[in-house]
Structure 1
Amino acid sequence: MSFFNRAGLLAGLMLAAGAAAVQAQEVTLRYSNWLPAGYALDVELMEPWIAAIEQATQGRVKIQKSPKVVGSVASQYDVVADGMADMSLMVLSYAPGRFPQVEAMELPFASDDESRTSPAVWATYERFLADKDVFPDVVPLALFQTGVFHVFTTGRDLSAADNWKGAKIRTSSPSLTRIIELLGGTPINKPVSEVYELASGGVIDGATTPPDALLGFKLDDVLDTMTFVPGSLGSTTVLVSVNPDAWARISEADQQAIRQVSGAAVARMSGDLHRKETEAAIAAMQAKGMTIHRMGDAELARMKERVAPLTAEWLEKAKAAGMEDPQEMLDFFHAQLNRPAG
């Protein structure tokens, strides 16, 4: 064997050994946790997913949850981007206007079946947004939705479109804010963690929230009346991402293993979880004797007519953000929501 062949063989062996060493490297990701103890999203989705990541990487990638939130709940995207934490869950609507493309999937009346919404969100993201640098400062691992939104009040019946006029309603997204405005109400943009104090103090008349969040944050003590809106008022989209520098410490093989248990897999888990949680929450409300109104067909049609400008406004906003054909993405999202089960 010539010197050059031996040198080439040695170099190849060294590269292989180096790759194996990198693959075997252990990495611990610091996860900024802000969900309340025992909350289903944490216990039944994030915890199993964290375990799945550790299993898929044979223990080389571990995720260490912080005892309390790093930074503020609303700033989790920047917390991860700036490396204050390696990983976190971010409610995108807590940064209104920053991610306009995603807002299409939060428009109202799309679906009130959570088992469909999260998978549709991930499929739409992969098809239209994954290569568009929508989240340029982080590495996205999962995009899904929480439970769909209805409205809860301190006694006010909002099953008639006219009854929204003058109502002070907590909102948490640009879409929900605009719905309340178009119906003549006053939107109060606050995190769900502040709703109890606002409602008990009479600052708000009600709040838009998923039913499971109402119980999870113990808001049923102050919000005793629900108005169920067929098709729902929309949902809020959640991003789980990793800091790019932290991601780069993970071997390519382990990155691929993590992606296998993220994305579509997490979307399915989220959909099944939130459908179950919504059904259980409504059953618990009925057992407790809460008043539940259901918006009828005529009032729903009246509501849709008044809220119609919202979709046109989003289309213009998406074009301004650089999307060539936002209607195509919106149509694809609705088609995914209406796909036959199975």
Structure 2
Amino acid sequence: MSTRTIAAIAATLCITGTAQAQEVTLRLSHWLPPTHPVHTLGIEPWIQSLSEASDGRIAVQVFPAQQLGAAPDHYDMARDGIADITYTNPGYQAGRFPIYSLVEIPFHANNAVGGAQAMHEWYAPIAETEMSDVKFCIANPHDPGTFHSKNPIKVPADVSGLNVRPAHATMARFISGLGGGPVQVPAPEAREAIANGTADAITFPWNSIYIFGIDSETKYHLDMPFYISAQLLLINKDTYNGMPEDLRAILDDHCTPEWSRKFSEGWAENEASGRQKMIDSGEHTLYEPTEEEVQMWRDAAQPLIDQWKTDVGADAETLYQGYVEALERHDSRF
């Protein structure tokens, strides 16, 4: 074998080795079924775009349905590197992220698409402090949800005495303030709570009632865009910092307000479809509150805002106005 041939082989091995060293496989964990629109319409297109932008050098292996850990543990799983990326609901851990909990208070965001972009713009700088041990990437609210129940709920007084599965800690406080009893279980366990009588009602977006099989249990629905639950994609910092610079840049390009909007579009449309499905079925009763009744609900939610400002402290009003302005900027203010 000639010297020139040996040199050529050595050069090829060097290039291949370099390419292989720059390939990254990231583990993404979430707690939803793999058929859920967050998985099929949000996560999968995001992964595909990462692969295309990196010429296949960024691969993502997905672990759905709580395979790597329970739903409430996903923030710590990102922090501790149990997964490289996690789909996290901060509201599953009451009081841990007080500033972020503002997005959970009813009557702020009226749609998930503009709302996602607004939330990202507002919270990304805050996350550097409040979630400093992970990298914030994507905000993903669902289409505004409402009360779904075994018996009609029309006004705040109707919640008194009911056991209600809340979407998150903020809705749990709201239900308690109305005289109800929160039954705090993650979404994958919600159907069982309704079916076995542990809960009389649930706060959920519309089509998730079908996705989680709760449509046979709850036949009454309060027909208004009430609240949102805003999940996040979070990245382990060691994983991120250990990636080659060019791949970090590609990941950064997929952790933007525009990507939060794009990531949320499919799920929002899917959830909204559940409302019409209920109407068409003839098996469900939707109640649209009057203006006076909507105001009753808004008045009932005001203590949540007051308490949030107390919990956050000196900067609360500035932070609050920043969120409201971001929602207005993206046509998503209730």
Of residues 302, 323, 327, the one that matches 1:308 is: 302
Partner of 1:242: 235
Helix, strand or coil at the partner of 1:110: coil
How many angstroms does 1:274 deviate by?
A: 3.6
Distance in 1 separating the partners of 2:38 and 2:231: 11
Of residues 284, 290, 302, the one that matches 1:296 is: 290
Structure 2 counterparts to residues 1-12 of structure 1, below 5 A: none
Partner of 2:116: 118
Partner of 1:9: none
Q: Is the 8 A contact 1:142 1:240 kept in 2?
A: yes
Of residues 179, 197, 213, the one that matches 2:174 is: 179
Of residues 154, 158, 163, the one that matches 2:158 is: 163
How many angstroms does 1:292 deviate by?
A: 0.6
Distance in 2 separating the partners of 1:22 and 1:100: 43
**Shift in CA distance, 187/246, structure 1 to aligned 2, threshold 3 Å:** same
Deviation string for 1:67-102 (max 9, x for gaps)? 652021110111121122211111111111111110
Distance in 2 separating the partners of 1:143 and 1:115: 10
Structure 2 counterparts to residues 47-86 of structure 1, below 5 A: 47-66=44-63, 68=65, 69-86=67-84
How many angstroms does 1:288 deviate by?
A: 1.3
Distance in 1 separating the partners of 2:119 and 2:132: 19
**Shift in CA distance, 273/254, structure 1 to aligned 2, threshold 3 Å:** same
Partner of 2:246: 253
Partner of 1:335: 325
How many angstroms does 1:33 deviate by?
A: 3.3
Partner of 1:273: 266
Point out where structure 1 has 5 or more consecutive residues left out of the alignment: 1-16
Structure 2 counterparts to residues 96-245 of structure 1, below 5 A: 96-126=94-124, 128-131=125-128, 133-154=129-150, 156-229=151-224, 231-232=225-226, 234-245=227-238
Deviation string for 1:198-233 (max 9, x for gaps)? 11111111100111221211211111111123x41x
Q: Is the 8 A contact 1:145 1:236 kept in 2?
A: yes
Paired-residue identity, %: 23
How many angstroms does 1:311 deviate by?
A: 0.5
Q: Aligned letter for 1:251?
A: P
Q: Is the 8 A contact 1:23 1:252 kept in 2?
A: no
How many angstroms does 1:336 deviate by?
A: 2.2
Deviation string for 1:281-314 (max 9, x for gaps)? 1111111121111121111212222321110100
Which deviates more, 48-57 or 141-150?
A: 141-150
Distance in 1 separating the partners of 2:64 and 2:92: 22
How many angstroms does 1:31 deviate by?
A: 1.6
Distance in 2 separating the partners of 1:341 and 1:135: 27
Q: Aligned letter for 2:52?
A: Q
How many angstroms does 1:333 deviate by?
A: 1.6
Q: Is the 8 A contact 1:165 1:185 kept in 2?
A: yes
Partner of 1:3: none
Q: Aligned letter for 1:246?
A: T
Which deviates more, 265-274 or 80-89?
A: 265-274
Distance in 2 separating the partners of 1:173 and 1:125: 18
Q: Is the 8 A contact 2:118 2:257 kept in 1?
A: no
Distance in 2 separating the partners of 1:236 and 1:89: 13
Deviation string for 1:142-194 (max 9, x for gaps)? 1231222201001x211122211111111132210121122221111111212
Q: Is the 8 A contact 1:23 1:251 kept in 2?
A: no
Point out where structure 2 has 5 or more consecutive residues left out of the alignment: 1-13
TM-score by length of 1: 0.86
Distance in 2 separating the partners of 1:113 and 1:316: 27
Helix, strand or coil at the partner of 1:308: helix
Q: Aligned letter for 1:315?
A: K
Q: Is the 8 A contact 2:92 2:168 kept in 1?
A: yes
Q: Is the 8 A contact 2:164 2:175 kept in 1?
A: yes
TM-score by length of 2: 0.88
